[in-house]
Structure 1
Amino acid sequence: MSKLTNLVLLIDDEPKIRRFIRAGFELHGGFSVQEAEGAAEGLRAATFNSPDLIILDLALPDRRGAEVLETIRSWSDVPIIILSVESNEEEKVGLLRAGADDYVVKPFGMAELLARSEAALRRYFKSATESPIVVAGPLSINLVDRTVLLNNYQIKLTRKQYSLLHILAKHVGLVVTHDELLEEIWKGNVRKNIQYLRILVRDLRQIIEPDPDHPRLLITESGIGYRLQARFGDVAKS
């Protein structure tokens, strides 16, 4: 841990738990704590405050903790420790596979949580450029709230159109292969029929490209896949 203070985002709707955890971290030193009572507040804080560690309760009033984990993992590798009253092994394994770094069962001791938090931070190498908002030319894609702006105006996309753009945005400037896109968007249900992908690309270009016949944002890499251009003015093949 290279910083003097690590910001912990604590998402839990129980005030007593929040007070207990805040006191433990602050007494230990080296941490500051931001509290969120629910999923929506927690996601806003995760988006704009760049925490170094998230402690996430599964039983939130406005959204399941597992869904919050999935949302954050769509754009960030920040360490996430799950809190739960359940010690179900199947659930624990599922959450760890979904991207949780650790799983702590209530009730727990503060010494245990501190040790697990420090271990998670040691394993994590924070990217200075990490952001939930990807900008590509006139496009701005918010990977958290799933909004897309084109020239500062919000545009509407179908679920599959957004899924395609989301995947490309996570790898902006890099090529994503046909097979990877087919698997992510259709989950193997179209037997890797590339024609489905070509139609989807064509339809998305009709929305985001000034001249869909000469694309400058959604670029074809012949025989390989597609790339979302990082800079609108770059010259690339269509």
Structure 2
Amino acid sequence: MTNLSEMRLRTAGLRLVPVKPNGWRVLVVENHADDAEKLVRGLERHGHKVIRVDSGGEALQAYDDADLVLIDLDLPDLDGLEVCRSIRVADDTPMIAVTGRGSELDTVLALQAGVDDYLVKPYGFRELMARMEAVMRRTRPQPTAAAAIVHGMLRIDAASRQVTVGGRLVELTRKEFQLLHLLASQAGSVIMRKQIMVQVWGDTWSRRTLDTHVSSLRSKLGSAEWIITVRGVGFRLGDV
């Protein structure tokens, strides 16, 4: 039976293309070189794209483009709990603490700071993968079977989070992808600014943030006509 989301896409003149799930963009925040190397190598073997940093300051600069954060709480510059709190205040990026702190109090404090799960070193890699999958199912549920949205030369693959224009791969940040996917999922409709900002940025947004991301998307997609501004209302996906 055709679901409501699929009917809306077809009404907008789009077609659904089944795709296979792909790896996630994982940010590894790990100060210990040996632990980081093993973790990065294991994640890459399982098809994930990994960004590795070794300080809290770098983590706060890099988390926005990650699907999932694996963070050690023992960092050289900032307290790991404060880093987790800062990320959680600004975003809903899933986080798993992977740390040597093994007390019940440590676990409670980390969960209160916003992590979605807690794993104590040493751990089994298969357990980590299972926990990652469980966290992603819980925090990033897929309402329908993974599908790509195709609109003219534009193709948006929700499962792998890849965007192509005329076959050219377009590298987007997580927020840019969410913004474009929102517009494409309601192609033909004008989406109000407030709706976009709430759905993409939640409680932490500004008018300037949205305009900056729209400008960046237009540049990366290769034409300002991909995103049309409806003055005083919002934006809609264009036809190029």
Q: TM-score, normalised by structure 1?
A: 0.53
Over the matched positions of the two proteins, sequence identity in percent amounts to 33
Deviations 1:14-73, CA, capped at 9 Å, x for gaps? 1111111111112223x11110110111111113xx211000110000101100100000
Q: Which residue in 2 is equivalent to 1:24? A: 42
Q: Which residue in 2 is equivalent to 1:39? A: 56
Is residue 97–residue 115 contact of structure 2 (8 Å, CA) maintained in 1?
yes
Distance 1:110 1:5 in 2: 16
Query: What SS does structure 1 have at the residue aligned with 2:90?
Result: coil
Distance 2:50 2:136 in 1: 15
Q: Which residue in 2 is equivalent to 1:135? A: 206
Deviations 1:121-148, CA, capped at 9 Å, x for gaps? 1112288243497223xx669xxxxxxx
Query: What SS does structure 2 have at the residue aligned with 1:134?
Result: coil
Deviations 1:129-168, CA, capped at 9 Å, x for gaps? 43497223xx669xxxxxxxxxxxxxxxxxxxxxxxxxxx
- In structure 2, list runs of 5 or more residues that go unmatched: 1-19, 142-174, 180-199, 211-230, 234-240
Q: Which residue in 2 is equivalent to 1:88? A: 103
Q: Per residue, is there more helix in 1 or in 2?
A: 2
Q: Which residue in 1 is equivalent to 2:29? A: 11
Alignment of 1:1-238 (within 5 A): 3-29=21-47, 31-47=48-64, 50-125=65-140, 128-129=178-179, 130-131=200-201, 134-136=205-207
Q: Work out the number of aligned pairs and report it.
A: 140
Q: Which residue in 1 is equivalent to 2:219? A: none
Give how far 1:91 is off: 1.8
Cα RMSD after superposing both structures: 2.8
| Counterpart AA for 1:113 | L
After superposition, the Cα gap between the structure-2 partners of 1:105 and 1:3, relative to the gap in structure 1 and judged at 3 Å, is same
Q: Max radius of gyration: which structure?
A: 1
Report 1 or 2 for greater relative contact order, CA contacts < 8 Å, sequence distance ≥ 6. Answer: 2
Report which stretch shifted further, 2-11 or 121-130.
Answer: 121-130
Is residue 111–residue 117 contact of structure 2 (8 Å, CA) maintained in 1?
yes
- In structure 1, list runs of 5 or more residues that go unmatched: 142-231
